Structure 1
């Protein structure tokens, strides 16, 4: 009894606590380290509660970085013990705790995910979690019904969590999960569950599986997963919204057949509203999804995105304190400003504001990646037929391009040279006047200097 209490105490102390975990690893009792003692408590002849709690201790210490993920005490002892806890023979509570702990153990480690997926037919074993209670109609006792429904929710939640961890990285594992009996139907049903915890776990599972190009093209399309997902996005707590909007980002990639129907169901308005959220993750996901949506899109969609966002909101996002929001917004602008007719059309309606935004960023205290992305946007504008005049008539911007051509960072020099190259392209009308103006500014001298550069990319350009 005392040992159990001590185990529970260690399990709680070590959870997400690297300092405590490192201390525990170095503790020894009668010449044995604590992890070795915990491993002995995992043995099959020990009480189930002791096995489970020892596995939780070792899991917490592993996730906190105190035990390596390839340590034999994890791979050969902890992981198989937790898989055993998921079997039909175990009590419902043990199956829930076993699956949730295993999901946490393997969540970030590809190798552990692979090992777990081939241990004791785990993927098929988890499908049984959805078959409880076996028959609701036979239950007449209301208390019993309540108890059974609670366990049914917990089992489904645990199964979704573990499937999400298993499928986080490996394409073959995702395929196995999706091919498990009625799996996609179960996930789709999970999205409309009354229990928020089950809904969240189902969305997490869907998000994990949506990383598969193959599945986006097949199972996700066959089951029209985008419909219930859009429904979830209409009205859900933030923690569900964050995962659901991340999943939507994947469903909007250019090769996904769901992209078209999602667009038709009013997604632009929804995503534009997410970009105004107080919640950082939602702002990032909103703009990320719009960026994916704008990639190689037709002009109407691009115009709808710009209209939905409004210039004011675009500026708001470009001055966001979070670099991730800023990078995704620049990515969106870059995707909007691709192909000449689109560049010219967008710059004819929003040119002044976009040039203003570009100037602000190039003047601001931003990192190399942000400035490089901004110069690439300028290079796209310079590729327009009429749009390039917005650069040629803006001496401030031209001076900035000149400045970045001589910058100490080669990436920025290269991006600035793309701008110049697009401005002076010989086969276009007015190229001679543009070349003369740039020559007068001293651009040719810089190009001569760069042609002697030791960097082959700069030299070639």
Structure 2
């Protein structure tokens, strides 16, 4: 390709004649708009740095040059992420933001009218730049830049609010675009609570709400998008938003959003649903399961079938966000047939053609190859199904009946890492079903691809595959044998020693599940690889979640027959095991809040005591020989967490019970000691506990204690 005329235009940019420079800029602009090849060519020719120099010049005599420079930068940035990186690396962002600064020696609207062409070009360029994930936002904005953005938004939104709808002037159209682009910039730059607070303090909320009533669809969409991001995981801001009203219409913001949920435009409906979902997630609505969300959820399900723009790509993620962690919302999704619709969406984008195509990089969100869009829809749909099937069995059954499993298996073998990750999450949710674990999941052959992913290039995917396999190694799973035979024990042990906390946690979880109700032979097979020395180190990890899983492993090891318990005591060492239990259970007066014993470690530690005390007398007497252990168990009978209280009562039940009549002397000794420590009064008080389970267990323990102490040989 001949490049002489393009190289000539670059040379002209260095001319002393502004007319020649302007002519060259217009040629470059016309060359790059809509032409990926020319954009890459001009980047190689060094045009970006020259454009940045133009933007940094004083205003005198360079106004038209700046407009053309900003327009070209925006066109170059609107495309591949590599183009955006070239623009950002050249230092273009700060000069672009600086052009938004308006003189304060005249009315603000007059300043905007004089500079509206430059503001339009600049905000368009910044919108394209900040749409890319490659652009770092944290250090970009100074307080002055934020104030400039909000000032422009406030002025343009007020202007549009007073413009007659349906009869927009050319000036009004330009202001609408400036408002749209400014709101879009804000939407991409308030991911953290610090950024959200900075924008709120600058007064951004009211202009955004006013813009919702402007009558300009694109500006309304951008405003909704900004509001959705501002209130994400920020309850304080969420409350401010739902209590706000438009200055012109006096309409409550949530009602406005509900109107948009019913809008004819699918993109508008989706963004409004996103806003309300983010508000719902903050907990600002008075009822957790309310009328507003009952309108939003069916709207999202309907959008799954709408092929407009990138709605199908984004709707599953919004749905997933709405229903995750809530049984009520997952039940509502079940009633709305959301899982079937997601399965249909997966089927519509699954084909051999899409698997065999190449995978170019995705640039601006919503753009890219057809294949890349299909893969994104697969990823997001699998994430939504994982969320929908996490907590309720009926939802998992609906997913199986909707033929989701073939798509999950396909996703596990996808060439796209994000699709593999989403498929692992989906497999994990579905594997929580005991009935389907024994039937549908076995028939679908879900174990082999998950095992293969334990060696994936991505540690995140390895951890997710391990998390999904956790349920496949439980005692009742028919896939347990094939997972073990594939060498999973060694892999899980490797993960348990990983520096990656998520990988380490999932590895320990898998080992714990593998040991659940396992026989002694299976336990020995695991410990031959893990070793007791490594287990003891894990028991003293600073991270309480790691400690919890290590304690759960010991709990499962000492569960079962007496020979199991004896083998563990021998392996760890009796004194070392008692030292561990003492350290995990003991509460001292010197403990501060940061040292407080947490329920996550207390419950498994107490269950170790329960399991050790379930058979022979020797382990019971060994535990009772440690005053700190006994006193700690009694102390935890009044713990604020009912799961801790009920486990502590189980310790008392096992200590006041003998396996055979030959153990009466030891039994009486234990019961007398417990009585001397005031256990009777504690158990009597616990019969009025708020937890029925605690009441029942306390009654059992008290009856056993009284029966022993009332016996003929106990006086």
Q: Deviations over 1:221-272 (max 9, x none)?
A: 1123121111112235343334322222222222221122222222222222
The one-character-per-residue Cα deviations of 1:146-198 (angstroms, maximum 9, x if unpaired) are: 712101201211221221122222222211211224x3222112112111111
SS at match of 1:255: coil
CA separation in 2, counterparts of 1:10 and 1:246? 35
Q: Secondary structure at the match of 1:278?
A: coil
Cα distance in 2 between the residues matched to 1:118 and 1:419: 46
In structure 2, the residue matched to 1:75 is 294
Q: Which residue of 1 aligns with 2:524?
A: 303
| Alignment check: 8 A CA contact 1:25 1:35 kept | yes
Please say if residues 238 and 284 of structure 2, whose CA atoms lie closer than 8 Å, have aligned partners that are also in contact.
yes
What TM-score comes out, normalization by structure 2 length? 0.56
CA gap 1:376/1:58 in 2 versus in 1, 3 angstroms: closer
Matches of 2:623 and 2:332 in 1, distance apart?
Answer: 61
Q: Is the 8 A contact 2:586 2:632 kept in 1?
A: no
**More relative contact order, 1 or 2 (CA 8 Å, 6+ apart):** 1
Equivalent residue number for residue 188 of structure 1: 409
Question: Which of these residues, 32, 36, 39, is aligned with residue 258 of structure 2?
Answer: 39
For residues 411-450 of structure 1, the aligned pairs below 5 Å read 411=645, 414-418=649-653, 420-421=655-656, 425-428=659-662, 431=663, 434=666, 438=669, 443=673, 446=676, 450=680
Q: Is the 8 A contact 1:269 1:308 kept in 2?
A: yes
Deviations, residues 277-311 of structure 1 (Å, cap 9, x unaligned): 23333333322222221122121211122222222
Decide whether aligned partners of structure 1 residues 343 and 140 sit closer, same or farther in structure 2, where only a CA change above 3 A counts: closer
Q: 1:432 to 1:168 in 2, by over 3 A?
A: closer
- Work out whether 1:234 is the aligned partner of 2:455: yes
Give CA-to-partner distance per residue, 1:85-133, whole Å, 9 cap, x none. Answer: 211x523611111222122122233333333334377614642433337
- How has the CA–CA distance of structure 1 residues 406 and 70 changed in structure 2, closer, same or farther, with 3 Å as cutoff? closer
**Residue 26 of structure 1: how far off its partner (Å):** 0.5
In the aligned structure 1, how far is the partner of 2:436 from the partner of 2:462? 22
* TM alignment of 1:105-124, pairs within 5 A: 105-119=322-336, 123-124=340-341
2:631 is equivalent to residue 403 of structure 1: yes
Q: How many residues are aligned here? A: 448
The residue that corresponds to 2:569 in the other structure is 347
Which among 236, 256, 260 is matched to residue 477 of structure 2?
256
User: Cα offset for 1:448?
Assistant: 9.1
**Structure 1 residues 390 and 70, CA gap change in structure 2 (3 angstroms):** closer
* Alpha-carbon contact 1:69-1:112 (below 8 Å) kept: no
Deviates more, 1:209-218 or 1:1-10: 1-10
Q: 1:149 to 1:351 in 2, by over 3 A?
A: same
Matches of 1:43 and 1:363, distance apart in 2: 58
Deviates more, 1:32-41 or 1:9-18: 9-18
Say which is worse superposed, 451-460 or 171-180, in terms of deviation. 451-460
- Counterpart-to-counterpart distance in 2, 1:170 and 1:71: 20
Alignment match of 2:512 (pick from 291, 295, 315): 291
* TM-score, normalised relative to structure 1: 0.84
Unaligned residue ranges in structure 1 (runs of 5+)? none
Which sits farther off after the overlay, 189-198 or 257-266?
A: 257-266
Decide whether the 8 Å contact of 2:313 with 2:377 is kept in 1. Answer: yes
Question: Where do residues 16-415 of structure 1 align in structure 2 (5 Å cutoff)?
Answer: 16-29=233-246, 30-45=249-264, 47-67=265-285, 68-76=287-295, 78-87=296-305, 89-91=306-308, 93-119=310-336, 123-124=340-341, 126-132=343-349, 136=353, 147-181=369-403, 183-337=404-558, 338-352=560-574, 353-363=576-586, 366-367=597-598, 370-371=601-602, 373-382=604-613, 389=618, 397-404=625-632, 407=635, 409=637, 411=645, 414-415=649-650
1:160–1:201 CA contact under 8 A, matched in 2: yes
Distance 1:433 1:66, change over 3 A: closer
Gaps of 5+ in 2: 1-217, 361-367, 589-596, 639-644, 688-698, 705-715
Distance 2:654 2:331 in 1: 47
Cα distance in 2 for partners of 1:452, 1:81 equals 54
The structure-2 alpha-carbon separation of the partners of 1:263 and 1:133, relative to structure 1 and needing over 3 Å to count, comes to: closer
Go from structure 1 to structure 2 and tell me whether the alpha carbon gap of 1:448 and 1:69 turns closer, same or farther (over 3 Å shift).
closer
* Distance in 2 of aligned mates of 1:433 and 1:234: 56
> Which deviates the most, 172-181 or 203-212?
172-181
Distance 1:169 1:354 in 2: 36
Greater mean deviation of Cα atoms: 243-252 or 93-102: 243-252
